[in-house]
Amino acid sequence: MCLISFCTHIPSRRAALHPGSTDKGWLNKSAMQIAETGKPVKWSTPLGLPCVQPYTKNKRYNVMTPVQGVSLSCPAPEMPVNKRKQSTAFPPNFIHSQDSTHMLMTAIECYHAGIPFAAVHDSFWTLPCHVDEMDSIIREQFILMYSFDVLKQLKESFEAYNPEVKFGDLPDSDNSILTVSETLNTSSVENCPLSSQN
């Protein structure tokens, strides 16, 4: 729902995160700068929850069995970070952290409103008699979350965790303006260019 709402209801930075976009390039480059220091990429969600990418280089283990020896290669926490994976995995992981934050905010508000709430990934469910009210809550929480510059907040989070790194300027974007009235009043999610790319 978040992805569909995001690209349908507001012209946002989120819709620009395609391969080759300047936003995705900034995310990849910043993640690589962090990985070059030997640390994993770490950031905070809008709710303040820390996220850490666990990707390290593989460690080889030799296991002897009664039949034969087996060599296993597994990531291990004591190994150096996998710089390439830290960089390439960050943009989708960041988007997932935003989606899960929106889901948590929606779940909390539904709880306060006495609305039964269930979710799987980005699908939000309730009883038919509560659909309209839940729809309003989804949009309100979406607006609350994206009424500020998400990438600016991310950069501040990066700088707090990595004071030794000089991150590049955020890319210019005319697409970061939240159109509140459109988000609250739009009832259709058709013709969304990202709706099938979840």
- Catalytic residue IDs: 122
User: Hey, how many other C-beta atoms are within 10 angstroms of the C-beta on 174?
Assistant: 6
Burial bucket for residue 122 (CB in 10 Å: 0-12, 13-18, 19+): middle
